[in-house]
Amino acid sequence: MKFLDQAKIYIKAGNGGSGSASFRREKFIEFGGPDGGDGGDGGSIIFQSDRNLNTLIDFRYAQHFKAQFGEPGSKRNKTGAKGQDLILKVPVGTQIYEEDNNTLIYDFIKNKERYLVAHGGKGGMGNVRFKSSTNRAPRKKTSGKLGEEFWVWLQLKVIADIGIIGKPNAGKSSLLAALTRAKPKIANYPFTTINPNLGVTYYDRKEITLADIPGLVEGAHKGIGLGDKFLRHIERCKVLLHLIDLSEDNLVKTYKQINNELYSYDKNLTKKKEIIFFNKSDLFNDEEIKKKLYDFKNKIKTKYEIISVFSKKDLQKIKKLLIKYAY
């Protein structure tokens, strides 16, 4: 299934049905009086979050959604049927914005949340409503109100406990595949990952969700590469797993580059809990690793771990740390 994290759609709630201007007509009753019923209310547009969905692809090709109109009233004081509400299912993490794509209407952060976005029109009144002591045979009725209609933007922000970040080709997808049952595309070239991938792993009877974010390059927050399009997906993550390739020439520069992109996009991202893993340790011996990390250890005063995604022992260590940070 293709991944889509943004969509613009048009929604139209149902119009209310018109009231009826009817009069009672029965044998031997010459002046039966008014008996026109009210019109039914129009259906509303309701969004509902569903944890089994992870993309907005359903809104790419079908962009216009209309709820059912209310039925008109009829004789014998019969009220028209109410229009059926239209329920649109979206992934957990979806945000609804007004047409300006800036004003937030609602944010779905839990499963099976419901939010009524567009109200259906009220049904019109039948002539029986206008009967009075001075007007015994009113012919007045009212039309149903129009249902609300407008354009909205849907934006999906992936909800995960751990967000895996780093430069392209650092091994993020390989790590996700090793820790979970996710099957991201893996290849030995940059930008193999062009969409966020989600996976779930377990350790000590606890569950954590991981999100593999496409690689970040310098200037990602400005639109360079693919990073700016997906930086918002790590806004909801509790912890950032910063994966760095030990093959990089300057590990300090690599680390700072990613942090600068996070800060430039949203400085709050740099305040999140962070775990640093240096990957591909299987390509170097202990002495080579020590030399490569010497400068980093002196300039960046933070904890880090040295791993290889192909080591089962390292994977267990990673899971243990992730549970510790996420809970």
String of DSSP letters for 38-106: PPPPPPPEEEEEETT----THHHH--EEEPPPPPPPBTTTBPPPPPPPEEEEEETTEEEE-TTS-SEEE
Helix (H) or strand (E) holding 322: helix 312-326
In tens, the pLDDT along 71-88 reads 999 998 999 999 999 999
- Residue at token pair 């990602």: 220
CA distance 37 to 313: 75
Distance in Å from the first CA to the final CA of the chain: 31
Helix or strand (DSSP H, E) at 119: none
Quick one: pLDDT at residue 25? Answer: 81
pTM of the shown model: 0.78
Contacts of 241 (CB under 8 A, 6+ apart): 162, 163, 164, 165, 175, 210, 274, 275, 277, 322
* Residues written for the chain: 327
Q: What does the buried/exposed string (b/e) look like for 233-258 if buried means 16 or more CB atoms within 10 Å of the residue's CB?
A: bbbbbbbbbbbbbbebeebeebbebb
Q: Which of the residues in the chain have pLDDT under 50?
A: 1, 184-193, 220-225
Q: Among 13, 125, 129, 122, which residue's Cα sits nearest to residue 73? A: 125
At residue 290, the pLDDT reads 92
| Amino acid (1-letter code) at residue 159 | I
Please state, in angstroms and rounded to a whole number, the distance separating the CA atoms of residues 265 and 134.
70
Provide the pLDDT for residue 1.
47
Sequence-separated (6 or more) residues with CB below 8 Å from residue 291? none
Instruction: State CA 260 to chain mean position distance.
Output: 26
Handedness of CA 171, 174, 179, 180 (dihedral sign): positive
Domain locations along the chain: 1-156, 162-326
Under CATH, which number does the domain 162-326 receive?
3.40.50.300
pLDDT of residue 3: 67
Check residue 290 and report its DSSP letter. H
DSSP string for residues in 132-189:
-SS-SS-----PPPPPPEEEEEEEE----SEEEE-STTSSHHHHHHHHSS------SS
The H-or-E segment that residue 248 falls in is none
Domain 1-156 in this protein, CATH class: mainly beta
Alpha carbons 127 and 20: distance in angstroms, whole number: 6
pLDDT of residue 188: 45
